[in-house]
A and B are shown apart, each in its own frame.
Chain A
Amino acid sequence: MLRDLPLHPPSASTFAGQVDGIYFFALLVSIFFSLLIAVLIVTFAVRYRRREGHEVGEPVHGSLWLEIGWSAIPFAIMMVMFFWGTKVFFTAIRPPAAAIEYHVVAKQWMWKFQHPSGQREINDLHVPVGTPIRFKMTSEDVIHSLFFPAMRTKADVLPGRYTTLWFEATRPGTYYIFCTEYCGAEHSRMIGRVFVLEPHDYETWLAGGAGIKTPVARGAELFAAFNCSSCHQDAGTARGPALAGLFGKPVALADGGRAVADDAYLRESILNPTAKLVAGYQPLMPTFRGQVSEDDLMQLIAYIKSLQPAGGAAAAAGTPVQRAGFDGEMP
């Protein structure tokens, strides 16, 4: 089931090969210089060993060019490694615009995944091959770190903040998920498996959870349950700003500053409403800290993102739902 190769884990993402590339280059450089030093040491130690009549070494004049040389050459090689590695890094941390968003909430000691369809999984994760996926992640407690060795990527998962990780799986199979930031007693049990499936297998799997609410739908329920619409109506009221079309737009704040209404802004505004008070409004909004879980927050934010002006709710912008036929075509 899980193939393990002696020198590297299975390669299952679009950039895994690139990571392996820079790694093996760096490894070769390291092996070369290690061997070089080892050979020189052994050669000199044998050739110039202490003998009768040769009790003292001969002082050798220093050479500035030699010093410059063996400073500059390693430096140049390291610069190659730096630029190459940085390039790979930016590929690996910048999700493509078309990536689909999955939610991850980490807690001691499990991973909670949510698909855009609303399907939830604990520790296990089913994903379709050939689809770029962006994970929006947060922790309920301490710092964790989501690691997919086969995809060659990881990112810390922080409490109170959203972090991102992305990959596009290239090979069906089953691979490991590890937590790589020590998080307490059962840190070594936060192991999961990611099942990369062919598109139609993924559809089949999704269909098995028919009737599950999407994040947007669940978010709408929560929005009603918490009575958000009493202040945040479509047209905007004196009490609360309108939320339709808000996501991603700049917001003028009461203290004269500006903010962008992104995930972090929306999350903070629910938990700590007076932190970034919008210009022209009173600090009336109560805090929902303690009433709304990290999971709920993700659903609410998905709902708010989906709100369009003029005509109201739920156009599922960027959250493809149970559509038949994932033939690699991105929404």
Chain B
Amino acid sequence: MNAVAVEAPASIDYINADYGVRSWLLTKDHKRIAVLYLASVTLFFALGGLFAVILRLELLTPRGDLMQSDFYNRMFTMHGVAMVFFFMIPGIPAVLGNFLVPLMIGAKDLAFPRLNLLSWYLYVAGGLFTLWAMIRGGVDTGWTFYTPYSSSYSNSHVILTGLGIFIAGFSSILTGLNFIVTIHRLRAPGMTWFRLPLFIWAHYATSLVMILGTPVVAVTILLVAAERAFGLGIFDPARGGDPVLFQHLFWFYSHPAVYIMVLPAMGVVSELISAFARKPVYGYKFVAFSSLAIAVLGFLVWGHHMFVSGQSAYASVIFSVLSMFVAVPSAVKVFNWTATLFRGSVSYDTPMLYALGFIGLFTIGGLTGVMLATLGIDLHVHDTYFVVAHFHYVMVGGTIMGYLGGLHYWWPKIAGSMYPKFWSRLAALIIFVGFNLTFFPQFILGYLGMPRRYHAYPEEFQVLHVLSTAGASILGIGYLIQVVYFTLTMRYGKRVGNNPWGAVGLEWQTTSPPPTYNFETTPVVDWDAYEYKEKEAAHV
């Protein structure tokens, strides 16, 4: 391979290049911005997790005895808002994407470094508004804000929370814009589209969804806020409006939004499977095009959230069949990843454990999604715990596994140190077990009829709820173990060289951590994305 290795002085990297709070808060370095995002999304993940713990505790008993129903309603709403808008959607793109996109394509930074910093500030501003709303009492509409409850009836801080989400939405749009321009214009010479790592394809597809979908939810939030503030009546039937129009506008973004959440994780998984089987990803072009297909088709299926909303049955039929279509590229990816293991050289490092966990859990989540897309089934399980289980399988079993796998894979590159092998594998196992125990019982609960967003429930559902809460505590322990060893690693972790995993990719050609400008001279690429050779495989 002809990569130009960086000959920087051994000790200067992007972390120690400059000291002081100002040098971080006014940085233009995409790697520092990624670390800023890492800190902030982790905070929101912890907050969302706290709300989840509270509501799972309440659900241990059938009666609403731990808290008032109004408080419970705010808990599940803010769990959703914090997790969806401030962790899941920015998550992988803002942390791993920001750090790796320039490195992987051989660029010195993203196309617009200052816009990147602005993205982070917008995220923080949006987060602060939402936090302020939470501190002042929160919001109780559900993260889906259905009208007319949210626009005319709720007594909670809808406008303030909406404003926070609106501002964070612009963070998302600018990140997507930055990625698109970067991937189009800043690829190193020789880095053709089909030599790009699949992580880049995934982030490109994600960025398309970000820029096309987010503005629609932004204007929808504005309309709800205007309706509350000025009494407009766009969604209020008493004033001639249509509450179902809100649902169409909301889901037009929020369905593609789930692909914003899962596509980057799929990109991570492609990298992990390839690196830890030491083989090119099977069916590279198919996986690349599947990312694009998911992004495009994902815009055509929003009505599958509205089968029982009163929309026309014929519209429901069309949305149902289109939802089956969008499942195909996801299936293609799962099969190609599995095939990548065939005749590979598979190691059981922690990132690989997460990648394999992703494939299994995403398969279950995706298949239950197809079940939900089937009209006859959805009629019964819509708005029950079946849906809750489905989306947690794809978002936690899927995206969060991908995020954690990516974090563990690129941690040595980001921090320059390595975490303890035993504890990281243990945490992965605990998380896998805890996750399944939490959410699998919920499929059963859902088919039995247990509705969503219920504070109190009939007694016969208690056993399944207890299992679920037990699983959640195990899941929580797994996350806590990670927090502990990552914190310790930052201080005491063993230093690593350029390429501790023996992987290929431009990011592994530089030091760990990389210098501020990534590459002193732009590399010239004349190899395919995942060319593994015996001699490069040895750990460096």
Assess A/B contact in the complex (Cβ within 8 A): yes
B376–A34 CB distance below 8 A: no
CB A312 to nearest CB in B, in angstroms, measures 34
Known interface pairs A34-B364, A86-B375, A158-B243. Does A70 touch B335 (Cβ–Cβ under 8 Å)?
A: yes
| Cβ < 8 Å to B, chain A residues 263-287 | 272
Task: Tell me if A156 is interfacial: C-beta within 8 Å of chain B.
Answer: yes
Q: Within 8 Å CB of A81, what residues of B?
A: 324, 370-371, 374
| Cβ < 8 Å to A, chain B residues 321-350 | 321, 324, 327-328, 331-332, 334-336, 338-339, 341-348
- Of B141, B278, B376, which contacts A86 at CB under 8 A? B376
Of the listed stretches A44-52, A119-127, A216-224, A241-249, name the one at the interface; the rest are far from the partner chain.
Answer: A44-52
Q: Within 8 Å CB of A8, what residues of B?
A: 447-448
A55–B538 CB distance below 8 A: yes
A56–B331 CB distance below 8 A: no
B383–A19 CB distance below 8 A: no
Q: Within 8 Å CB of A188, what residues of B?
A: 64, 69, 451, 453-457
The interface size bin for chain B is: 35 or more
CB B228 to nearest CB in A, in angstroms, measures 14
- Of A30, A87, A161, which contacts B367 at CB under 8 A? A30
| Cβ < 8 Å to A, chain B residues 99-125 | none
A145–B374 CB distance below 8 A: no
CB A50 to nearest CB in B, in angstroms, measures 5
**Residue among B142, B153, B379 with max Cβ neighbours from chain A (10 Å):** B379
Cα A125 to Cα B360 with chains together (Å): 44
B371–A27 CB distance below 8 A: yes
B360–A142 CB distance below 8 A: no
- Of B64, B140, B331, B533, which contacts A74 at CB under 8 A? B331
B148–A78 CB distance below 8 A: no
B308–A156 CB distance below 8 A: yes
Known interface pairs A89-B316, A187-B454. Does A163 touch B375 (Cβ–Cβ under 8 Å)?
A: no
B371–A9 CB distance below 8 A: no
Of the listed stretches B158-166, B251-259, B279-287, name the one at the interface; the rest are far from the partner chain.
Answer: B279-287
- Of A58, A108, A178, A183, which contacts B449 at CB under 8 A? A178
Task: Tell me if A92 is interfacial: C-beta within 8 Å of chain B.
Answer: yes
A50–B449 CB distance below 8 A: no
A44–B341 CB distance below 8 A: yes
Cα A231 to Cα B321 with chains together (Å): 50
Per-residue 0/1 for B376-401: is the Cβ within 8 Å of any A Cβ (1 yes, 0 no)? 11011011100000000000000000
Q: Within 8 Å CB of B334, what residues of A?
A: 37
**Residue among A19, A155, A188 with max Cβ neighbours from chain B (10 Å):** A188
B448–A9 CB distance below 8 A: yes
Task: Tell me if B173 is interfacial: C-beta within 8 Å of chain A.
Answer: no
B360–A37 CB distance below 8 A: yes
Task: Tell me if B317 is interfacial: C-beta within 8 Å of chain A.
Answer: yes
- Of B237, B279, B338, which contacts A161 at CB under 8 A? B237
Task: Tell me if A205 is interfacial: C-beta within 8 Å of chain B.
Answer: no
Of the listed stretches A97-105, A146-154, A252-260, A321-329, name the one at the interface; the rest are far from the partner chain.
Answer: A146-154
Task: Tell me if A261 is interfacial: C-beta within 8 Å of chain B.
Answer: no
Per-residue 0/1 for B347-370: is the Cβ within 8 Å of any A Cβ (1 yes, 0 no)? 110000000100110011001101
A85–B332 CB distance below 8 A: no
What is the chain A residue whose CB lies nearest that of B342? Answer: A44
A92–B363 CB distance below 8 A: no
A40–B364 CB distance below 8 A: no
A71–B308 CB distance below 8 A: no
Task: Tell me if A262 is interfacial: C-beta within 8 Å of chain B.
Answer: no
A180–B345 CB distance below 8 A: no
CB B72 to nearest CB in A, in angstroms, measures 8
Q: Within 8 Å CB of B20, what residues of A?
A: none
Task: Tell me if B206 is interfacial: C-beta within 8 Å of chain A.
Answer: no
What is the chain B residue whose CB lies nearest that of A58? Answer: B343
Known interface pairs A37-B338, A60-B339, A159-B237. Does A49 touch B347 (Cβ–Cβ under 8 Å)?
A: yes
Per-residue 0/1 for A67-97: is the Cβ within 8 Å of any B Cβ (1 yes, 0 no)? 1001100110011011011111110110000
Q: Within 8 Å CB of A189, what residues of B?
A: 69, 456
B453–A154 CB distance below 8 A: no
Q: Within 8 Å CB of B424, what residues of A?
A: none
Task: Tell me if B7 is interfacial: C-beta within 8 Å of chain A.
Answer: no
A48–B345 CB distance below 8 A: yes
Per-residue 0/1 for B464-476: is the Cβ within 8 Å of any A Cβ (1 yes, 0 no)? 0000000000000
A84–B454 CB distance below 8 A: no
Q: Within 8 Å CB of B283, what residues of A?
A: 62, 67
Q: Within 8 Å CB of B316, what residues of A?
A: 89
- Of B70, B147, B376, which contacts A85 at CB under 8 A? B376
- Of A23, A78, A88, A93, which contacts B324 at CB under 8 A? A78
**Given A57-B345, A90-B313, A184-B154, 5 additional A-B pairs, CB 8 A:** A6-B444, A22-B374, A59-B279, A79-B324, A86-B376
Report which B residues bind A (CB closer than 8 A).
64, 69-70, 73, 140-142, 146-149, 153-154, 237-238, 240, 243-244, 277-280, 282-286, 308-310, 313, 316-317, 320-321, 324, 327-328, 331-332, 334-336, 338-339, 341-348, 356, 359-360, 363-364, 367-368, 370-371, 373-377, 379-380, 382-384, 444, 447-449, 451-458, 460, 502, 532-534, 537-538
Q: Offer 27 A-B interface pairs, CB within 8 angstroms, sorted by A.
A: A2-B458, A4-B460, A19-B376, A19-B377, A19-B380, A23-B380, A26-B377, A34-B363, A41-B360, A44-B346, A45-B341, A50-B278, A54-B345, A55-B345, A57-B277, A57-B278, A89-B375, A108-B153, A142-B153, A143-B243, A152-B379, A153-B380, A156-B309, A178-B451, A180-B383, A180-B452, A188-B455
Give the top 6 A-B pairs by smallest Cβ distance, nearest first. Answer: A160-B237, A149-B449, A88-B376, A57-B279, A85-B374, A89-B375
Report which A residues bind B (CB closer than 8 A).
2, 4, 6-9, 18-19, 22-23, 26-27, 29-30, 33-34, 37-38, 40-41, 44-45, 48-51, 54-60, 62, 66-67, 70-71, 74-75, 78-79, 81-82, 84-90, 92-93, 108, 141-143, 145, 147, 149-150, 152-156, 158-161, 163, 176, 178-189, 191, 272
